[in-house]
């Protein structure tokens, strides 16, 4: 297929690589220099967001914040043709996802919210979990493409359902990351070999993606982002706002957000979420 892809950052670049194996992919991102490896691998570069729509019935977006999504889709809707399908893989606001769905529908364009989970490792391996919201017919049309970048692809319901599901995912991760960091700090204070400890606890009841994938990075002092702290804070804010609308109090999530905001204030916003260990230093 001929498809478009907007946003080739930490996650997007690996997603594009998988799509390039079976499709012609037109890409656009804010900084062309960062996309040069993809261009060398066969991706077609265009100089603007509207150009991504030309000749591409399916366009993926993977940007940073809801404000970025809004900006990109304003341009996409101007250029998009009836019958097109836009798939937003950004973790964004469920309310915005519903807005985009309705705006697209008025123009004959299907919009699917399809946030992903699995971090840079999942993106590189093509094993992302993809949580979708939107119309079933549109979902089934893009399912073969989504299956090229993920191994667990589910339609969770109507517009916004994918984003709500991703909020559940981020809520579960938020306090888990606190647990991972505190386990490491405790083990080190107790004089244990944490690599050896990990061999024991990662396969038991404490096992999790975060424990297995981020603890080794913590032990090496590797804070490079598989997922940015700044984006995690954005996700937690969205989840807390949605929870407030539903009359829910989520103290664990609120605490995680507070800790990560302190790290961001210390200049670590561009680091990976495993840098939470620095809060305990």
Render 85-143 in DSSP notation, one character per residue: EEEE-S---HHHHHHHHHHHHHTT-EEEE--EESHHHHHHHT-EEEEEES-HHHHHHHH
Contacts of 76 (CB under 8 A, 6+ apart): 49, 50, 52, 53, 59, 61, 86
Active site residue 234: no
H helices present in 21-65, as ranges: 32-40, 49-53
Separation between Cα atoms, residue 13 and residue 5, nearest integer Å: 10
Strands (E), the chain: 2-6, 24-28, 44-45, 58-61, 85-88, 110-113, 116-117, 128-133, 150-157
Instruction: Report in angstroms the alpha-carbon separations of 100 from 49, 77, 93, 145, 192.
Output: 16, 9, 11, 21, 51
The catalytically annotated residue of 13, 166, 257, 271 is: 166
So which residues are the catalytic ones?
166
């Amino acid at each position: 297929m001929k498809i478009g892809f907007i946003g080739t950052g930490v996650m997007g670049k690996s997603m594009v690589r998988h799509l390039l194996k079976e499709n012609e992919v037109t890409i656009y991102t804010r900084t062309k220099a960062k996309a040069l490896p993809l261009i060398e691998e066969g991706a077609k570069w265009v100089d603007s967001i509207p150009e991504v729509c030309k000749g591409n019935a399916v366009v993926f977006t993977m940007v940073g914040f809801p404000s970025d999504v809004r900006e990109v889709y304003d341009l996409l809707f101007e250029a998009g043709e009836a019958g097109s399908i836009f798939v937003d893989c950004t973790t964004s606001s469920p309310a915005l996802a519903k807005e985009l769905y309705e705006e697209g529908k008025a123009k004959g364009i299907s919009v699917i919210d399809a946030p992903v989970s699995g971090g840079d490792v999942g993106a590189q391996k093509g094993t992302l979990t993809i949580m979708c919201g939107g119309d079933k017919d549109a979902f089934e049309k893009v399912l073969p493409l989504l299956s090229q970048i993920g191994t667990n692809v589910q339609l969770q319901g109507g517009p916004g359902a994918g984003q709500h599901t991703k909020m559940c995912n981020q809520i579960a991760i938020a306090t888990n990351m606190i647990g991972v960091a505190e386990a490491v700090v405790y083990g080190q204070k107790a004089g244990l070999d944490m690599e050896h400890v990990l061999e024991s606890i990662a396969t038991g009841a404490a096992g999790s993606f975060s424990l297995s994938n981020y603890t080794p990075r913590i032990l090496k002092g590797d804070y490079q982002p598989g997922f940015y702290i700044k984006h995690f804070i954005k996700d937690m804010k969205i989840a807390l706002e949605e929870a407030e609308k539903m009359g829910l109090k989520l103290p664990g999530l609120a605490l995680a957000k507070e800790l990560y905001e302190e790290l961001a204030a210390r200049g670590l916003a561009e680091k990976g979420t495993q840098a939470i260990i620095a809060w305990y230093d």
